Amino acid sequence: MRRIVNGVVAELTKSNATIEQVNGRLLVKSADGTNSAAVVRKGDRVYVSYRGRIFEIDPIRHGSDAAGTAANEERAHMPGQVIKISASVGDQVQPGDPILVLEAMKMQQEIAAPLAGRVAELPVTVGDQVSEGDLLVRIDAEEE
């Protein structure tokens, strides 16, 4: 899986480490021992504090604007399963309103409305498996 880590495109690969969530922190168990990690999400960016370093992780977008995706779309940042849907096509939403929850690697990620408008497309249902880059929701912006 490719991501931008601290401004550089990186290929993130699976390891033999296991990750367990305990009291809001992650315990990473590997051949090197057990280490604690903290993860904070701010918009599309994810910050990971691990072993004394902070990593800024951005998704690589698959879309049409300069950042790589349309501003009115949210796409899957990684493969996962849709476990909850909180909106329907035609619903009016505001920025940050919850749309759905995606579960990946035993962690849940809430997908929120990127802007104010009406849900125009929601091509997933609860239980669907999605791949990285799959469209999760498209919002038609409010007319000004």
102-138 pLDDT per residue, tens: 988 778 888 888 888 999 999 999 999 998 888 999 9
The domains located in the chain, with CATH, are 2-59 (no CATH), 73-141 (2.40.50.100)
The arithmetic mean of pLDDT across residues 8-30, rounded, is 78
66-109 pLDDT per residue, tens: 334 567 888 887 788 999 999 999 999 998 899 999 988 778 88
- Which residues lie closer than 8 Å to 99 by C-beta, 6 or more apart? 74, 85, 86, 87, 93, 111, 112, 113, 119, 122, 136, 137
